[in-house]
Structure 1
């Protein structure tokens, strides 16, 4: 009676990653897009490794309701090639039933028996003794709990009941369009597989967000993964195992700087020593630094940046300290650059002026070397 499956969601196939700057000598956006397609093969490996014959995708398999024909056809072909697995696709808010009707028609018309589009609020027999209760998203924004229909779904007595939905779980203090946190109990579910939240989250023993199989933002801080789930019998507690599927890792490092401390050495210790080519890194600097120390730190960060898939520096919270001796290194008193530096230094709370002063100092130092 034991049933094993893979719970995944939010592949966002076709995502263009327009917010990531494209370096002149690289193609990080293309690599990120390809990794999202590669997540299909990663999910297939996870299923085989854990003895699962079914992959449940809890919404937003595609990033938009109108992905390019190549994105759709290649995704369908990759799933069809894994003919030993059955792929259950639930429309989410990005690829909802109304806006993405041609998309789902294309998937259905491909005619692959191992790919099923869950386009109705009705129970589906996955295999004898196991019933799936899907609730596809009909519109991009809804005002009601998308899982409410599960309570009215008729399921054969003694079946394992698995809910599949896409949306947020809250305590109903917002608009009322969120999933009830106790939906598993209300609908007598053995497991509720949720999508929409791109990070891993356990809501309760029976309610889980799997996150995205590939990270797509710095927010969550965990690598892309899926969940391998085993349910031994109706009413039994599900056994949930996290399985890493992600190729890229998005990570954010916070570095506190203090005058007199060796910030360059601290940076070297904070940066990941391996896997840099497949790491997107955001460096957040805070604290206080002298002009010279700030310039050295920025130079060290920029020197390491090309080793990473993407590297960005956020220094809004890094204050710059200086005195007359620092300004003397820029120009003599009365000199044009000195006058400009003094004007920039006049308001220490002006972030733009503070950054400009630090950059002016760096330019002068570079020119002197």
Structure 2
């Protein structure tokens, strides 16, 4: 049996304010071609199908088109809910979807009820563990200690292993969580389900099944040969720049896990982070090959340039982010601002303020002239009052 492990589609997510529905649909069309070319039997989506608990109508329509194209290849689809999804909304009419070979597993009450798919070697039982919020489920299991997500996932896996022992056969579990050992693969858009590390799930919790298809981390990651994250199909943050997009093709034979290989998905638009002064970024030929990329610009000018983003977008039409990180930072010493301006004239106070907020650069000659005129007018007005 061949399984394609994907996760974190995040349908409806924006990228720095830009819509991603069109790009994602193109990538999911490419995923359908991979399913057809690689003779995939089962497609897994390990949580965060949507980016919001209240998806838009366009997001629902995209999901419908993507699932329809996949089902037309003959694959079975198994999806679980993640922390971004509304389990109730994603699971609405899941019983009807099941009749069409699309299994949406969003309930903690059916953790030990697998989707069973048969091949020439017998049954493969696929168990779905949706994102489990302990505060929302502990009242249903008063005999269990469910204070953290780690305890909730361990509870789910005990039920899964018990069912596997009873049924026999090969087994796969699908879970959306933050497992220990994947910090380096995480980005800045996926850390919201842990609190001081207490909700990290130990990887050994997933022992006892042939393969654990995990979701939540947007970069691919291998915890063990049989426990992996596939990552998201699109880049959703500049912290993900350079990370491949794709999924794991998991092969099961009669004895269990036979092999895992990575398959790439197309990247609609690359992500690039460029660093330099505004003048360098606008004129240096070294940046010519990223002009059509999504660009995050790190400006190293001593003073933050005026209207920097608009100027950057003249060259980099898809510049989506800009930060100012001066290459040289002024040392103001240990004295407070009040101490530095004590006893100084009004013009000197303004100059000291400009130097403080502009990284050591005080007023220019032209600015000093304007400041002097403004102070003189103010004094004249005060004298005539």
Instruction: Give the TM-score normalised by structure 1.
Output: 0.70
Check whether the contact 1:283–1:312 (CA below 8 A) recurs between aligned residues. Answer: yes
Distance 1:11 1:300, change over 3 A: closer
* 2:181 paired with 1:167: no
Alpha-carbon distance in structure 1 between the residues aligned to 2:13 and 2:84: 11
Q: 1:191-241 deviations in whole A, cap 9, x for unaligned?
A: 111101112222222111111001111112214322222233434453221
Check whether the contact 2:309–2:322 (CA below 8 A) recurs between aligned residues. Answer: no
Following superposition, the deviation at residue 117 of structure 1 comes to 0.7
Segments of structure 1 that go 5 or more residues without pairing to the other structure are 22-28, 322-337, 361-369
Report the 3-state secondary structure (helix = DSSP H, G, I; strand = E; otherwise coil) of the residue aligned with 1:215.
coil
Greater share of helix = 2
Following superposition, the deviation at residue 7 of structure 1 comes to 0.8
Segments of structure 2 that go 5 or more residues without pairing to the other structure are 136-146, 182-193, 331-346, 368-385
Check whether the contact 1:14–1:62 (CA below 8 A) recurs between aligned residues. Answer: yes
Alpha-carbon distance in structure 1 between the residues aligned to 2:309 and 2:325: 18
Following superposition, the deviation at residue 265 of structure 1 comes to 9.5
Quick one: which of 143, 150, 164 aligns to 2:148?
Answer: 143
* 2:146 paired with 1:124: no
Distance 1:73 1:134, change over 3 A: same
Report the 3-state secondary structure (helix = DSSP H, G, I; strand = E; otherwise coil) of the residue aligned with 1:212.
coil
Following superposition, the deviation at residue 170 of structure 1 comes to 2.3
* 2:165 paired with 1:178: no
Instruction: Give the TM-score normalised by structure 2.
Output: 0.67
Alpha-carbon distance in structure 2 between the residues aligned to 1:38 and 1:106: 26
**How many pairs align?**
310
Check whether the contact 1:158–1:234 (CA below 8 A) recurs between aligned residues. Answer: no
Check whether the contact 1:248–1:280 (CA below 8 A) recurs between aligned residues. Answer: yes
Counterpart of 2:333?
Answer: none
Larger Rg, first or second structure (1 or 2): 2
Alpha-carbon distance in structure 2 between the residues aligned to 1:283 and 1:223: 21
* 2:289 paired with 1:273: yes
Counterpart of 1:114?
Answer: 101
Counterpart of 1:26?
Answer: none
Q: What RMSD in Å do the two structures reach over aligned CA positions?
A: 3.8
Q: 1:296-333 deviations in whole A, cap 9, x for unaligned?
A: xx989935654442343322233379xxxxxxxxxxxx
Distance 1:315 1:166, change over 3 A: same
Following superposition, the deviation at residue 48 of structure 1 comes to 1.9
Report the 3-state secondary structure (helix = DSSP H, G, I; strand = E; otherwise coil) of the residue aligned with 1:40.
helix
Quick one: which of 288, 305, 315 aligns to 2:324?
Answer: 315
Alpha-carbon distance in structure 2 between the residues aligned to 1:112 and 1:70: 24
Q: 1:84-105 deviations in whole A, cap 9, x for unaligned?
A: 22221101111142xxx13421
Q: For 1:235-246, what aligned pairs fall within 5 Å after superposition?
A: 235-236=256-257, 238-246=259-267
